[in-house]
Amino acid sequence: MNGVPSNSNPSWRKKYRLQVQLAALILAVAASFGLYTAAQNGDSFWGGVWFAAFAFSMLLTGLVG
């Protein structure tokens, strides 16, 4: 796979685990504050975007946690 991470090769999870976890953590924190701002402004579009971002961070956590 020319070094490209793929689900069929779980070794990428080990190799990039720390980076993915760091990214997931930063995304989770940023998305939570984004959700607060969106809720304050009543902005459902950005609320949806930030919720999806937080859910994605949880998905990443589930994948490599």
Enumerate binding residues for other proteins (CB under 8 A): 18, 21-22, 24-25, 28-29, 31-33, 35-36, 38-39, 44, 47-48, 50-51, 54-55, 58-59, 61-62, 65
Contact 50, 34 (CB under 8 A): yes
Q: Which is nearer to other proteins, 15 or 22 (CB)?
A: 22
Least CB distance to other proteins at residue 7 (A) = 16
Least CB distance to other proteins at residue 8 (A) = 20
Longest dimension (CA), the chain: 46
Cα separation, 35 vs 47, in Å, equals: 5
Output Rg (C-alpha) for the chain, integer angstroms.
Answer: 15
